[in-house]
Structure 1
Amino acid sequence: MSLLPLPAPVPSPAQAAPLPAPAATPARRRSPSPARLARLARHVLTALPLVLIGVWLAADWRGLYDGASHLAAADPRWLPAGVGFTCLTFVAAACIRQGAIPERLPPLPLLASQVAAGAANHALPASIGAHAVTLRFLQRQGIPLPRAAASLALYALVKPVAKTFVLLALLLAAPELIRLDALVPDHGTLLMTGVGAAAVLAALVLLLATVRPLRRAVLGFLRTALTDARLLHTMPGRVLALWGGAAALPLLQAGVVASVGASLGLPLSWAQLVFAFLAASTAAGAVPAPGGIGPVDAALVFTMVALGAAPAPATATVIGYRVLTVWLPLVPGMLTLSALVHRKLL
């Protein structure tokens, strides 16, 4: 019996023709990676200081023009001294910053951070810009946030205390050169100042007494700050850097005022000009203005006029002082800020 071949299987409709390929779905848009976002933020922060320079120029170009015109007519022999005093203020600020932290910081990056902080200080009130730059620098150096914030508090506390001692020492050293009768405020002004200070202190005490989380945070911060302060004052090098820099800083700033005043022929001695700056900056330092511009300027002009200067050269001296301490370091400071951000030191 012969075997017949079986018929070939008939393909099913599904196998007869291949199904059409599904339409390509659009690729899902992926969110940027954290590394890419970090690079973008660093580029933006690098360019931001240059934008701030342009904004500052547009907002205060008249002050720059007036100051430059006054300095153009000044005696050029004194202006290099003012520039030198301005540069040394950054060294003094770096010394205070190092003295306020137990760890040793790299000197050149620390100095560069203070040049950048000086430029940022003129953008925000109450030294917020300078403190923000320094806080970020300390964190990049491995300092924990609570201890970095405690060092900023110690820096802010030591500066007015040292300035007050320098002012008292100047009064004791040269009492005959300084006339205080025109500078002492009347009883009404003293009463208003005392009432205002008492009201602020009472409000702070009430706030701490009623808000428990805030009280806990403040107490923890104070414990950290006091622990670091006790440790620092067992280290002679840190004590010298902290208090020596804090005492030298206002004298260097006053040296800029005295140099500009001498170049413009202001009829006041160096001791009187140093006293005028110390008194004016102490009295107006509590007003939260960017870089102290405004209140300190008005108080400085008033103090110099009270000591015997004419209003016009006193005003010109303050304008020239601002050119040397604000405008001259502004561009290098902003470029330094950009470089530190680019090098990931901020």
Structure 2
Amino acid sequence: MTAVRLPLGLPRRVPVRQILCLVPLALVLAVAVHHRSVLAEGFGRLESAEWPWLAAAVGATCLTWVAAAFTRQGAVMQRLPACRLLATQFAAGAANHLLPTGLGASAVNLRFMTVCGVPLARSSAALALYMLAESITRTVLLLALLLAFPDALHTGGLVPASATGPVLLAAAGAVCVAVAVLLLVRRLRTAVSSFLRTALREARSVHTRPARALALWGGSLAFPALQAAGLAAVGQALALPVPPVRMAVAYLAATLAVAAVPTPGGIGSVEAALVVALVAAGGPVAVATAVVLAYRIITVWLPLLPGALTLGALVRLKVI
């Protein structure tokens, strides 16, 4: 049998994995071009800041990836490779800023746990447990700070009285629609019931091991605390006349308020909410805007390109 040669002009097939490695870089370029004016203004604000405080903000941002890695490990019984887990959190941060809120990081971590040998059902349960723990600790931290410092934030400037009714009605309507769909669609009801049983079983297993429970709840508490500390450090760097505790409360309140907004990484919505929250805490509008722009440069834009490169490398190495 004679070998069949391909025509010289026929292009070689490009592996799908190589194309996927370039997708994060293309998305970073598109997002950066779309927000180029914000980037230019943010970098301009950094020139007049006090660098020791900016270095503290960068350090707090780096520690958030460590806290996320601890929380991810605490949410699953199987031991995950530490170095690859940390690299995955850094890459997941970039993915989270390129896709609607939470989807990027969730997809990256779900794929990572699956590659590590965790069954899909348990990986999904661990993902749900992580999100639940992070939401609970963020809310508890905010409530604790408000109880300790009741005058730290004037919520009237954040949520106008005229908007309270429509927001509550919309939330109640969404809950009613979700419950109705769940009750009417039998296949969906069965899938949700199966998932809840798996999630509860995994949650009980995790909490039978003190080390896992400590990693889960300690990491989920440290994550928003470090984020708030980063904002407070940037506020100090730009001489925002607001006490650090008030800045922390403003950050937690703003991020909780925009948690349901489906924008990539909260870009746009987070900035607006943070400015409003800092102004409500007593900061001048101009300085509060400068602080928010500088903070988002440090936490979003500076890690975005290296995070995308890390994501591409992890895809190429089949870590995810």
TM-score, normalisation: structure 2: 0.93
Are 1:241 and 2:215 counterparts? yes
Match of 1:175 in 2: 150
Q: By how many angstroms is 1:138 displaced?
A: 0.5
Match of 1:272 in 2: 246
Match of 1:328 in 2: 302
Residue 158 of structure 1 aligns with an amino acid whose one-letter code is A
Are 1:121 and 2:110 counterparts? no
Alignment partner of 2:101: what SS? coil
Q: By how many angstroms is 1:179 displaced?
A: 4.1
CA distance 1:70–1:184, shift in 2 (3 Å): closer
Counterpart CA distance in 2 for 1:162 and 1:289 is 23
Counterpart CA distance in 1 for 2:310 and 2:160 is 46
Please give the per-residue CA displacement for 1:122-165, whole angstroms capped at 9, x wherever unaligned.
11102111111111101100011111111111111111111111
Q: Of residues 82, 87, 98 in structure 2, which corresponds to 1:112?
A: 87
Are 1:252 and 2:241 counterparts? no
Are 1:217 and 2:199 counterparts? no
Counterpart CA distance in 2 for 1:186 and 1:260 is 28
Residue 131 of structure 2 aligns with an amino acid whose one-letter code is A
Counterpart CA distance in 1 for 2:98 and 2:30 is 10
Q: Of residues 131, 140, 144 in structure 1, which corresponds to 2:119?
A: 144
Counterpart CA distance in 2 for 1:316 and 1:242 is 34
CA distance 1:313–1:196, shift in 2 (3 Å): same
Counterpart CA distance in 2 for 1:154 and 1:49 is 27
Residue 117 of structure 1 aligns with an amino acid whose one-letter code is A
Counterpart CA distance in 2 for 1:323 and 1:82 is 11
Counterpart CA distance in 2 for 1:187 and 1:262 is 32
Counterpart CA distance in 1 for 2:180 and 2:155 is 38
Counterpart CA distance in 2 for 1:58 and 1:184 is 30
Please give the per-residue CA displacement for 1:32-59, whole angstroms capped at 9, x wherever unaligned.
xxxx97x801211222222223222222
CA distance 1:298–1:181, shift in 2 (3 Å): closer
Please give the per-residue CA displacement for 1:158-205, whole angstroms capped at 9, x wherever unaligned.
1111111111111222335x1436447455433222211211111111
The number of equivalent residue pairs is 316
Aligned positions of 1:1-346 closer than 5 A: 40-176=15-151, 178-180=152-154, 182-183=156-157, 185=159, 187-346=161-320
Max Rg structure: 1
Matched-pair identity in %: 49
Over aligned residues, Cα RMSD in angstroms?
A: 2.2
